Structure 1
């Protein structure tokens, strides 16, 4: 029976992967709106006789505003695409692969320090992917049955 320290050390790769996923999800880019506001204050502070500088700064501000508008439109398109996704055959393939890898891991030597942690993660992954795949299959069947009733 492994000790608590061995169990914690065995879970380090899994915990590291989870932390990396969390960090990637929480990444924040630069504050573009704040820099535009600062540039507009700078533009207001520039004397009117510095025409070239004022024009260059105004072009820079306009380009960043255009970039923000384009990014918002692109994000809206991506959200609509993600919301309309109803699953397909790849979900079932990922589920089968997760189950098969869990079976393979079961046959790995149980004396490894990270065996239990990885096995628990694989079971959880198989359940989550299975639920997602089942949702897609049920939606496909509902769509198929709905289409057959129309005929």
Structure 2
């Protein structure tokens, strides 16, 4: 039985990261448009003599519509921010940390059951962090050179 426990402990960090990624990908906000349609249908079904209920439900519908408009505006701002991202010093710090963690893992006892798997994952993460850092550096240089040409 110790073999199964070692295998479970060896894969735990990678499995945890994978599960977190899956959970993050499956988290969906409620469909506000569908809720508004259902509320409007309910509003049509409430008798006209129930004025207070109709007014409260109309207020809820108005709040949801305002939230939807606010979410669209916020989403547009976030997309513009993401599109304008050119990389910065944090990308370089993440790359350096990934390389350092890989070096530290190299010095861990190689007989551990998860050593090879974690080492490969760390190498891949170091490469990805390096790509992002290089992209940020190249964009920074390009904007610097572009600004230098326009000032001459």
TM-score, length-scaled by structure 1: 0.90
The structure with higher relative contact order (CA 8 Å, sep 6+) is: 1
1:43 CA drift (Å): 0.8
Give yes or no for the alignment of 1:85 onto 2:57. no
**2:54 alignment partner in structure 1:** 54
1:72 CA drift (Å): 1.0
Q: Quick one: distance in 2 between partners of 1:117 and 1:106?
A: 12
**1:115 alignment partner in structure 2:** 115
- Structural mapping, 1:65-76, within 5 Å: 65-76=65-76
Which whole-Å deviations, capped at 9, do the CAs of 1:13-38 have from their partners, x for residues lacking one?
20221121221122012232222111
**1:137 alignment partner in structure 2:** 137
1:109 CA drift (Å): 0.5
Which whole-Å deviations, capped at 9, do the CAs of 1:60-89 have from their partners, x for residues lacking one?
111011101101110110111011100011
Q: Quick one: distance in 2 between partners of 1:93 and 1:54?
A: 56
RMSD value over aligned CA atoms?
1.9
Q: Quick one: distance in 2 between partners of 1:82 and 1:149?
A: 26
**SS of match in other structure, 2:112:** coil
Unaligned runs of 5+ in 1: none
**1:31 alignment partner in structure 2:** 31
Count of matched residue positions in the alignment of Structure 1 and Structure 2 = 149
1:6 CA drift (Å): 6.0
1:138 CA drift (Å): 0.5
Give yes or no for the alignment of 1:22 onto 2:57. no
